[in-house]
Amino acid sequence: MKNCCMSDLTSLPIKAYSKPKFMTSETLQLAKALIARRSLTPDDAGCQDILIERLTKLGFKIERMRFGSVDNFWARRGTSGPVIAFAGHTDVVPTGPVEDWFSPPFEPTIRDNHLYGRGAADMKTSIAAFITASEAFIKQYPDHQGSIALLITSDEEGVAVDGTVRVVEALQARGEKIDFCIVGEPTSNKKVGDMIKNGRRGSLSGTLTVKGVQGHIAYPHLIKNPIHMAAPATAELAATVWDDGNEYFPPTSWQISNINGGTGATNVVPGTVEILFNFRFSTASTEQGLKDKVHAILDKYGFEYDLDWELSGKPYLTEKGSLVAAISNAIERSYGITPELSTSGGTSDGRFIADICPQVIEFGPLNATIHKLNECVGVSDIEPLKMTYQRTLENLLRK
């Protein structure tokens, strides 16, 4: 059947009409129920209650983990290994101007064979597919080997301090580990299934304050211009080759994001200049190694400075192995294409999970509309997504 809207369907003769497959999809219906919840980060808005109710019926042991104002839960079915976990978030970013949406962002709407709503792609459809894939797999293999788990947070789109990282710390404290993890981030680029994220770069930021002597611009012998002092050092930092990357990662990148100095007057040299910079770094470098190199370059120039560091994410990498093979096979069977491995993009909660799981990958819908007005997923892509997750379970846990 070609793509059509509801008004087109209602014009068909009664006897000739049958609901398209996507209209009766359990995954679609669950995705719509989640999108209808106004779960602006860090508010879960009851999404996790919906998930927990269904998981409880499947025999999952549920642990609600609330940290601060953030709702999280860890669910597990089984007590033996291997443990394969699905990880995701129920929180979404703000909608932007509601009047600019095709339809209200928290009223899931099907239009032109797409499901519209905030969180449709990032990442409520993936979470719905986690659930329905688990239901289908358990129905077929009730005595499967190993364990299935879900790690769900409502603090991924925000500051991300009371979400996945805290759940991972709790699991780590009691020695509980995960063997395989699939994060449902929207990783697909041009077609659903064309890309798997098998790692992410780390993010290391610095706030550099170079100290000089403020004064009148007409008396250069009485001033020390911190902007001039910092310039050759920042030029060297920008030209430095930090590493060459590796098979999976591009070379580490150092970038200035902000420079702030001056009083606003044209005849006053400032006393300080503040420079914000960021490393996006691969597994070819380490946090401490990058810090040491930066300090060595700055110290060469002999000026006084302060430098505050913030590590917001460590790099992680899953090389080709059991999990990559299992989900690649599932994608090929579900979408008919061979996925590419990629480590591009920003950080994700995979960086936390990698502390207790040696194989972490991310796979989900198209990323073309995430965080945008009129966020959507193709309805015809939803069931193959569920089948991809289900077939991955079969490849790893089927007896």
91 an active-site residue? yes
Look at residues 368, 348, 41 and name the one whose alpha carbon lies nearest to residue 181.
348
Sequence-ordered alpha helix ranges (H) in the chain = 6-10, 26-35, 47-57, 125-140, 164-173, 226-239, 287-300, 322-335, 350-353, 382-397
Q: What is the largest CA-CA distance in the chain?
A: 93
Residues composing the chain: 399
Q: What is the distance between the terminal CA atoms of the chain, rounded to a whole angstrom?
A: 37
345 touches 200 (CB < 8 A): yes
81 touches 146 (CB < 8 A): yes
Is 346 in a helix, a strand, or coil? coil
Is 89 in a helix, a strand, or coil? strand
Rg (CA), the chain: 25
Handedness of CA 12, 17, 20, 26 (dihedral sign): positive
> What does the alpha-carbon distance between residue 82 and residue 55 come to, in Å, rounded to a whole number?
19
**Active-site position among 43, 156, 362, 394:** 156
Sheet of 376-378: strand order equals 109-111, 114-116, 376-378
> What does the alpha-carbon distance between residue 208 and residue 275 come to, in Å, rounded to a whole number?
5
Lookup: tokens for 81:
């290994």
DSSP string, 189-254: SSSTTSEEE-EE-EEEEEEEEEE-B-EETT-GGG-B-HHHHHHHHHHHHHH-------SSSPPPEE
**Active-site position among 91, 122, 135, 375:** 91
100 an active-site residue? no
Amino acid, res. 394: E
Q: Tell me how crowded residue 369 is: count the other CB atoms within 10 A of its CB.
A: 18
14 touches 63 (CB < 8 A): no
398 touches 390 (CB < 8 A): no
Lookup: tokens for 8:
């087109």
Question: What amino acid positions are annotated as catalytic residues?
Answer: 91, 156
